[in-house]
Amino acid sequence: MTFTNPVAWYLLFLAVPIILFYILKIRLRQVPVSTVIFWQQVFEERRSRSFWRRLRHLISLILSLLFLFLLIGSVLNPVFVSQKTPARCVIIVDNSAGMNAVTDSRGTSRLDLVKNQLNRLLATNTIARQTAIITAGGTPQIIVGFTDHAGTLRRSIELIKPTDYATKLTAAAELAEQLIDSEEDSLIWIYTDGCVTDLADLTEKPNIKFFPVGSPADNIGVTKFQPRRSFGDTVGYEVLIEMVNFGTESVDAELELKLENKLVDVISCKLEPNQPQTKIAANIGAKGGLLQATLKLAAKPAAKQTAKPTVKPTAKPAENFVDVFPTDNIVVAFLPELSTQHVYVFGTENFFLRKVLQSQPNVELHFLSAIPDRVPDGGILVLHQTVPATIPAGKVLILDPRNSCDLFEVGEEIEVPMIAGEDSASPFLKFVHLTNLMITGSRKLTFLNRNTEILAETPETFPIYAYCDNILVLTADLTRSDLALRTAFPILVSQALLQFRGGGGELEKTYSTDEPVRLELKTTDKQITLISPSGFSQQFPVKSDTVSLGMLPECGVWTILGEVTEQIRIACNLSNISESNLRLAPETFYAQQHTQTSNYTNYILFQTAQPIWFWLTIIALLLCVTEWFLYQRRWID
């Protein structure tokens, strides 16, 4: 026990006059009487009660001194050491994505539990002489600096909003230590669900006290969602999806894929506990737009009147599995829309060439009677055998050239047209190998431009397949050689159309909530408006055609608007295993929850109880009432 006002000990000197008044005897008055007969009888009675009279005086003295000591004790304001208020306390509130997990049927989240606990605590007492509050979701932020005003602290707690950030407890703890500046008798309180990988390092620090929130819970979620263009299809898409069951039993689930809110595919799967399962959804189609994947528990089929099964099902029934964290069940991405590719064909008619071009998806063929001076924008000119003296500007595919032009000179046929070398790194040769392939009818080509890339050549270094300045040349007689009958020919044409289209599998980037966003914008706007999926808007300045948005705190589709800038949409997903795994914290962390809760309850009861000086004052008042009662009953003088 310690005393907050030790100067009050000097008040003990007030006991001296009380004792002196007790010792001091009143001088008796001398009064003449006619006789002492009756007084002698009174003296005899008083003599028989002299001990009790002396005792009554002593009790009166003790009560007076006790009353003084109680008043002095009240002024001293004693407190127990365990009850002593810390100098400073930093409260770290974890408002990351995992704290949005539901804890009961009313929809109360883990963050709501933390805010309720802190509000109850601050409504009745002061945690420390100076208290600050920090959030640990994403980049740590100081919600309120050190203050002793309980109302300010309560209002600051209400300002803490749920986010989909990843937990940054270590960074928040370092910031808290900087705030307390190693001051003695200071504490750091952390309210979290413990779903972080660096929890063990923080629990070893003596000045950090954890308050576990929630309990281990089952959850299924999508941890990876990576769309890309299908390299086997010039306009198609395929999606790599990773799903994880963070529960303790296997469950049946379904993954719905929607493109612009239209159902594209449904993938059924059985998710085993803590075993990532990867699926690839192909043939998404050429239409671009918002691609959304939703993971949910499979609906239980209607019960049938059959005999009782002898084998116990391994999958957990959907009605017994409660997914308390739906944030990671929905992921989004944007697929760029591929416009129709116009292909202009001129030259000798060839059955195989026509069929290969017609088989290409999202392609519109135009057969020309004359060669244009310039290839239309976005189009491709295919020349078969007949080549003009000057090749038109634009993207051109030349097959089996028979006459020279400004790009190359055509010679005699190659005696041994077998391909001995190829540029396997070229995007024009993806998914195809031409080595050791005989290309009958190939002619010797001499390219006039030294920057020509030779994609395939014979042992004598005669080029068979070459590229130069948006012009692709393949010297092969489609009628005499068997190239047209091989799968290599349609693949070569598909890759040529794909590369001329300008797509090699690149997509608009999909961000995670743990990743800063920085965009390059070619705009004259000085600032842009960022609108969150929930409708919240914020202004950001544009500097040097670049805007830095930082980490996005919410999963879903974000929108960028400006006076000149066209609408830009950004896809943001959680994609964080630590936040999705609601069982990541060790059992020992949750085991201390009962101890911490008990200590927390005792702390509240101890802090919310009236101070000792209050009770001492009450006792002193009761003592006054008692002494008055005894005096009225003539038990004391």
pLDDT in tens, 103-157: 888 889 999 999 998 888 877 556 677 889 999 999 999 999 998 888 889 899 9
Residue 52 confidence (pLDDT) above 50 = no
Could you tell me if 417 and 442 are in contact, meaning their C-beta atoms sit under 8 angstroms apart? Answer: yes
Region of poorest pLDDT, from 26-35, 435-444, 589-598: 589-598
Arithmetic mean of pLDDT over the chain: 82
Position 311 scores a pLDDT of 45
What is the edge-to-edge ordering of all strands in the sheet holding 537-541?
Answer: 510-512, 568-573, 556-561, 527-531, 537-541
> What does the CA dihedral 229, 233, 236, 241 come to, rounded to 10 degrees?
-50
Question: What is the Cα Rg of the chain in Å?
Answer: 44
- What is the domain partition of the chain in residue ranges? 2-26+34-77, 84-216+582-608, 220-300+314-335, 341-501, 511-574
By three-state DSSP, how is residue 6 classified?
helix
- Between these two residues, 414 and 313, which has the higher pLDDT value? 414
How far apart are the C-alpha atoms of 613 and 91, rounded to whole Å?
29
> Which residues, including other chains, have CB under 8 Å from residue 493's CB and lie 6 or more apart?
356, 357, 360, 397
Give the C-alpha distances (Å, rounded to integers) separating 180 from 175, 177, 187, 514: 9, 5, 8, 28
Q: What is the pLDDT of residue 307?
A: 47
The least confident of 50-54, 190-194, 229-233, 480-484 is 50-54
Q: Which residue has the higher pLDDT, 27 or 634?
A: 27
Give the DSSP H/E element, type plus range, for residue 111.
helix 110-122
Query: What's the one-letter identity of residue 31?
Result: V
pLDDT band at 503 (very low <50, low <70, confident <90, very high): low
CA atoms within 13 A of residue 552's CA, in its CB half-sphere: 27
Pick the most confident of 61-65, 172-176, 193-197.
172-176
Rounded to the nearest 5°, which phi and psi values hold at 541?
A: -80, 150
* 301 pLDDT tier (thresholds 50, 70, 90): low
Amino acid identity, position 346:
F
CA distance linking residue 457 with residue 438, whole number of Å:
11
CATH number for the domain whose boundaries are 341-501: 3.40.50.880
- How much is the pLDDT for 24? 67
User: d(Cα 338, Cα 226) in Å, to the nearest integer?
Assistant: 18
Q: What is the dihedral of CA 386, 389, 390, 391, to 10 degrees?
A: 20
Single-letter code of the amino acid located at 615: W
Give percent above pLDDT 70 in the chain.
81
pTM, two decimals, is: 0.66
Confidence at 163, pLDDT banded by 50, 70, 90: very high
What is the average pLDDT across 600-612? 50
Token readout for 84 is 């002593």
Residue 636, burial from CB neighbour count under 10 angstroms (0-12, 13-18, 19+): middle
User: How far is the CA of 450 from the CAs of 393, 406, 446, in angstroms?
Assistant: 19, 13, 10
Residues 78/613, Cβ–Cβ less than 8 Å: yes
Q: Give the percent of the chain with pLDDT over 90.
A: 43
HEC secondary structure over 63-98: HHHHHHHHHHHHHHCEECHHHCCCCEEEEEECCCHH
Longest dimension (CA), the chain: 172
pLDDT at 604: 47
Q: In this predicted structure, which of 74-88, 315-329, 357-371, 468-482 has the lowest mean pLDDT?
A: 74-88
**Alpha-carbon span 52 to 109, nearest angstrom:** 71
The token pair that represents 242 in the structure block: 């990773």
Q: Any idea which of 314-318, 387-391, 568-572 has the lowest mean pLDDT?
A: 314-318
- Cα–Cα distance for residue pair 544/520, rounded to 1 Å: 9
Instruction: Over range 485-513, report the average pLDDT.
Output: 82
Give me the sign of the Cα torsion angle 394, 399, 403, 406. positive
Domains 220-300+314-335 and 511-574 share a fold: yes
> Per CATH, is 220-300+314-335 categorized as 3.60.120.10?
no
- In terms of average pLDDT, the best of 143-152, 409-418, 626-635 is 409-418
Please say whether the beta carbons of 338 and 501 come within 8 A.
yes
CA distance 123 to 111: 18
Question: pLDDT of 304-339, one tens digit each?
Answer: 545 454 444 444 444 556 778 999 999 999 988 777
Sign (positive or negative) of CA dihedral 546, 549, 551, 552: negative
- pLDDT bin (cut points 50, 70, 90) of residue 579 is very high
Domain 511-574: give its CATH architecture.
Sandwich (2.60)
- The whole-number pLDDT of residue 197 equals 84
**CA quadruple 607, 612, 617, 618: dihedral positive or negative?**
positive
pLDDT in tens, 523-559: 888 899 999 999 999 999 998 889 999 999 999 999 9
Position 6: which residue type? P
Give the pLDDT confidence score for residue 241 in this predicted structure. 93
Whether residue 326 contacts residue 107, with contact meaning beta carbons closer than 8 Å, is answered with: no
pLDDT tens column, 239-279: 889 999 998 889 999 999 999 899 988 999 999 999 999 99
Q: Which two tokens stand for residue 227?
A: 């769309």
Mean pLDDT lowest among 51-65, 250-264, 366-380:
51-65
**DSSP element (H, E) containing 432:** none
Nearest to 545 by CA among 516, 563, 561, 524: 524
Separation in Å, CA 540 to CA 499, 545, 570: 36, 12, 15
The CATH number of domain 84-216+582-608, selected from 2.102.10.10, 3.40.960.10, 3.40.50.410, 2.20.28.120: 3.40.50.410
CA 266 to chain centre: 27
Question: Is the pLDDT at 484 greater than 80, yes or no?
Answer: yes
Its sign, for the CA torsion 498, 504, 505, 507, is negative
- Across the range 571-589, mean pLDDT stands at 90
Give residue 34's pLDDT band: very low, low, confident or very high (50, 70, 90): confident
pLDDT score, position 283? 72
- Residue 504 three-state SS: coil
